[in-house]
Amino acid sequence: MLGDTERQDLSPLMERKLGEEIMRDIRGDPDYLDDAPILEYLNNFGGALVAARPEVRGETSFDFFFFAVRDKQLNAFALPGGFIAVHSALMLAAQSEAELASVLSHEIGHVAQRHIARMLGQQRQDALIPLAALVLAALASRAGGDAAIGVFSAGQGLQIQRQLNFGRDAEREADRIGFQIMGEAGFDTSGMVAFFGRMQSASRSYSDLTPAYLQTHPLTTERIADIQARIREQPYKQRADSLDFQLVRARARVLQDESGQGLADAEMFFKIQLEQPGRFQQAAAQYGLAMIALKKGDPRQAQVRFDAARDVLGKPPAAGTFSAAPPTPAPNAILTGMELDIRLAPNQPAAMAQRALREADAARLRFPLSRGIAQQYADALLGAGKVEEATRYLRDQVQLYRDEPKLHQLLAKTYAAQGKIALQHMALAESYALSGASLAALDQLDLARKASDAGFYEMAVIDARERELQERRREQLKEKK
Ligand SMILES: [Zn+2]
């Protein structure tokens, strides 16, 4: 069988496992945008694209996961196992949800057609293929000692990713499926050509912003013709962009660069955006300014901006214009989350804690699926001194949502407040383990074992977890070879 030309694809199970390992690394990377509203938006949006054409799940039946990376390059890419990344810059460059959908649908197409698995399968016979190198880089960075040299911060992974080329046939296939998805989901497919054209012209005016996406997806005349032929075949229903799209883009703009200069640039941008037409755009600009005020430790100013955002949304459209939006703003989890952020800000007077808890409690009942609000509720419980309740709530949450490092960090905080040292270190260990930092996790387990309050039960759990983590490390070192 060796030397045979027969190709052996990576099995769906192995592909998912590989993807999950890479994700553990990425979650620990400072450039991973661990921002609940952005993650929720991308997964709702991407999930709707997948649902529009459920057969893209195919034999693999992957649960897709969409996430954003803090990066000024225009790019998006798929990892093994249905994990799809979009760069913050690409979210900002997309002028409509149709444009964002065009890129995400194309990446879903790569996953659906198992292009990655096929490449990795081929890799057994061929010389080094970039994606396998990316995977190895991810594994190497973690095995090489837990420092936060993830795929992205090292720059190496992306360097490789940029050269990643599935080949022309695979790209056509991904385009075809991307088109079907967009059509089924009711998006304007012509947005794709416009978006790619704009990326191309951006690359001409800013030579430092290499449009990575276009290097692997050049907009050749052949591709344009292909796309345009498909557009003619496909009628679409006009669909308005959501308020959430504008709000998460405002978040991405603030989070993309949180340096003093970065925030000043974002502030300038939002002030210009305030003068533009469009209620959602204006509300998003106020929302962005509220977020900047919070970053600067000024919750009072944040509240002023937030109220202004609400005012814009509550205002009926100007006379003579048509708007399908309701005159009173619908309940919105992202806006509610911002209001809670303001209540929970460190510079608020102590009396605010009770109000924050009341509102967070109402919010979690209203938005039971929002992970961000669930975490804010735990924060509010802690802030109001309800430590026991916070602990109980968080223990339930970590059972339900097993891959959120933030929950374990919050749990560690509640244990610290209760003076439970062993449990505090055990919670921190889980948070590190989920971020791919097995060594740091093992250190925490060690501290937990040495804590004076580590009882028989804790010792047993510590021992078991230590064995698991050491086993994981051994496997990683093996894979590296
Ligand atoms: Zn592609």
Q: How far is the CA of 310 from the centre of ligand 1 (A)?
A: 39
| Out of 104-108, 209-213, 309-313, least confident range | 209-213
pLDDT on residue 403: 83
Q: Is residue 359 part of a domain?
A: no
- pLDDT by residue (tens digit) across 399-435? 999 888 999 999 999 999 999 999 999 999 999 999 8
Beta strands 76-79 and 83-87 are: antiparallel
Instruction: Tell whether the model's pLDDT for residue 34 goes beyond 60.
Output: yes
Would you say residue 469 has pLDDT above 70? Answer: yes
More confident residue, 476 or 195: 195
Q: How far is the CA of 339 from the centre of ligand 1 (A)?
A: 39
378 part of a folded domain: no
* Cβ-count burial 296-313 (b if 16+ within 10 Å, e if not): eebbebbbebbebbbebb
Which residue segment(s) compose the domain that 191 sits in?
12-233
Q: How remote is the C-alpha of 50 from its chain's centroid?
A: 16
Q: What spacing in Å lies between the alpha carbon of 213 and ligand 1's midpoint?
A: 8
Among the residue ranges 262-266, 311-315, 364-368, the one predicted with the least confidence is: 311-315
Q: Is the pLDDT of residue 143 over 90?
A: no
Residue 394's pLDDT band (boundaries 50, 70, 90)? Answer: very high
Q: Which pLDDT score, from 0 to 100, does residue 175 have?
A: 85
Are 102 and 222 in the same domain?
A: yes
Which of the two residues, 355 and 131, has the higher pLDDT score?
A: 355
pLDDT at residue number 108: 92
Q: How far is the CA of 365 from the centre of ligand 1 (A)?
A: 40
Residue 380 lies inside a defined structural domain of this protein: no
Choice among 3-17, 87-101, 313-327, 437-451 with the minimum mean pLDDT: 313-327
Query: Residue 347: phi, psi to the nearest 5?
Result: -90, 10
Is residue 173 domain-resident?
yes
Out of 46-50, 194-198, 338-342, 434-438, which region has the weakest mean confidence (pLDDT)?
A: 194-198
Question: How close is the Cα of 106 to the center of ligand 1, in Å?
Answer: 6
Per the rule left: phi > 0, alpha: psi between -120 and 50, beta: everything else, 65 is: beta
Tokens standing for 400? 């339900």
Q: Pick the residue with more confidence: 142 or 243?
A: 243
Residue 111: partners with Cβ closer than 8 Å, 6 or more residues away: 56, 60, 62, 64, 78, 82, 84
Q: How far does residue 78's CA lie from ligand 1's centre (Å)?
A: 9
CA of 205 to the centre of ligand 1 (A): 24
Same domain, 305 and 410: no
DSSP 456: H
CA of 91 to the centre of ligand 1 (A): 17
CA of 137 to the centre of ligand 1 (A): 21
Q: From the centroid of its chain, how far is CA 137?
A: 21
What would the pLDDT profile of 193-204 be if each residue is shown by its tens digit? 777 777 766 655
Q: Are residues 40 and 106 in the same domain?
A: yes
Ligand 1 centre to CA of 64 (Å) is 17
The predicted pLDDT at position 323 comes to: 57
What spacing in Å lies between the alpha carbon of 118 and ligand 1's midpoint? 14
Weakest mean pLDDT among 230-239, 275-284, 377-386, 450-459? 230-239
Query: Which DSSP letter does residue 327 get?
Result: S
User: Ligand 1 centroid to 5 CA: how many Å?
Assistant: 25
Q: Looking at the structure, tell me whether residues 451 and 322 fall in a common domain.
A: no
Name the token pair of 379.
């924060």
Higher pLDDT, 276 or 123: 276
Residue 23 CA to ligand 1 center (angstroms) comes to 20
Distance 76 CA to ligand 1 centre (A): 9
Proportion of the chain above pLDDT 70, given as a percent: 77
Answer whether residue 130 shows pLDDT above 50. Answer: no
HEC assignment per residue over 40-99: HHHHHHHHHHHHHCHHHHHHHCCCCEEEEECCCCCCEEEECCCEEEEEHHHHHHCCCHHH
| Rounded CA separation 430/461 (Å) | 12
Helix (H) or strand (E) holding 463: helix 456-480
* pLDDT recorded at residue 232: 65
CA of 13 to the centre of ligand 1 (A): 23
Q: How many whole angstroms from 195 Cα to the centroid of ligand 1?
A: 15
Calculate how far, in angstroms, residue 143's C-alpha sits from the geometric centre of ligand 1: 29
Distance 89 CA to ligand 1 centre (A): 18
Task: Report how far ligand 1's centroid is from the alpha carbon of 173 (Å).
Answer: 9
Calculate how far, in angstroms, residue 215's C-alpha sits from the geometric centre of ligand 1: 10
> Judging by DSSP bridges, how do beta strands 65-69 and 76-79 pair with one another?
unpaired
Q: How far is the CA of 117 from the centre of ligand 1 (A)?
A: 14
Q: Provide the 10 A C-beta neighbour count for residue 130.
A: 17
Rounded Cα–Cα distance for residues 253 and 265 (Å): 9
Q: Is residue 68 part of a domain?
A: yes
Last residue of a domain, one of 297, 330, 363: 330
Please give the distance, rounded to the nearest whole angstrom, from the Cα atom of residue 253 to the centre of ligand 1. 25
123 found inside a domain: yes
pLDDT over 60 (residue 383): yes
- Using the 3D structure, point to which of 330, 346, 378 is the last residue of a domain: 330
Q: What is the domain count for the chain?
A: 3
95 backbone dihedrals φ, ψ, rounded to 5°: -90, -10
Report the range out of 8-17, 101-110, 399-408, 423-432 with the highest average pLDDT.
Answer: 423-432
Question: Which residues face 237 on adjacent strands?
Answer: none
Looking at the DSSP bridge assignments, the partners of residue 77 are 85
What's the CA-to-centroid distance between 77 and ligand 1, angstroms? Answer: 8
Other Cβ atoms less than 10 A from the Cβ of 217: the count is: 21
pLDDT value of position 363 = 97
With contact defined as beta carbons under 8 Å apart, do 302 and 294 qualify? yes
**Per-residue DSSP letters for 334-358?**
HHHHHHHHHHT-TTS-TTHHHHHHH
Q: Is 215 found in the same domain as 70?
A: yes
C-alpha 196/C-alpha 219 separation (Å) is 7
- Residues recorded for the chain: 481
CA end-to-end distance (rounded Å), the chain:
23
Q: Quick check: helix, strand or coil at residue 32? A: strand
Q: Quick check: 227 and 175 in contact, CB under 8 A?
A: yes
Rounded distance from Cα 293 to ligand 1 centre (Å): 39
Average pLDDT over residues 318-344: 78
Phi, then psi, of 65 in degrees rounded to 5: -135, 125
Distance 218 CA to ligand 1 centre (A): 10
Distance from the alpha carbon of residue 11 to the mean position of ligand 1, in angstroms:
21
Could you tell me the distance, in angstroms and rounded to a whole number, from the CA of residue 108 to the centre of ligand 1? 9
Give the full edge-to-edge strand order of the sheet including 65-69.
Answer: 65-69, 83-87, 76-79
**In this structure, are 95 and 225 located in the same domain?**
yes
Domain match, 184 and 208 both? yes
> Do residues 221 and 289 share a domain?
no
- Lowest mean pLDDT segment, chosen from 158-167, 408-417, 457-466: 158-167
Q: 174 C-alpha vs ligand 1 centroid, how far in Å?
A: 6
Is pLDDT of 277 > 70? yes
- Asked if residue 74 and residue 211 are part of one domain, the reply reads yes
DSSP codes joined into one string, 210-278? --HHHHHS---HHHHHHHHHHHHH------PPPHHHHHHHHHHHHHH--SHHHHHHHHHHHHHHHTSS-
DSSP state of 418: T
The average pLDDT across 136-162 equals: 39
Least confident of 146-150, 170-174, 204-208, 289-293: 146-150
> pLDDT (tens digit, 9 = 90+) per residue, 196-235?
777 766 655 444 444 556 666 766 667 777 777 776 666 5
Q: What is the pLDDT of residue 402?
A: 85
The verdict on residue 294 lying in a domain is yes
Does 374 reside within a domain? no
250 vs 60 pLDDT, higher one: 250
Average pLDDT over all residues of the chain: 82
What mean pLDDT is predicted for residues 339-356?
Answer: 94
Q: Cα(113) to centroid of ligand 1, in Å? A: 11
Q: Which residue has the tokens 């040495």?
A: 450
Task: Single out the residue of 234, 184, 217 nearest to residue 56, CA to CA.
Answer: 184
465 in the same domain as 446: yes
Are 138 and 277 members of one domain?
no
Do 54 and 135 lie in one domain? The reply is yes
Residue 354 C-alpha to ligand 1 middle, in angstroms? 50
Between CA 431 and CA 441, with CA 435 as vertex, the angle to 5 degrees is: 55
Cβ atoms of 123 and 129 closer than 8 Å: yes
Q: What is the pLDDT of residue 240?
A: 81
**Residue 104 CA to ligand 1 centre (angstroms):** 10
Ligand 1 center from residue 166 Cα (angstroms) = 7
pLDDT(157) > 60: no
Percent above pLDDT 90 for the chain: 49
Q: What is the pLDDT of residue 37?
A: 96
Q: What is the pLDDT of residue 17?
A: 81
Taking the centre of ligand 1 as the mean of its atom positions, its distance from the CA of residue 87, in whole angstroms, is 15
CA of 217 to the centre of ligand 1 (A): 6
End residue of a domain, out of 233, 251, 281: 233
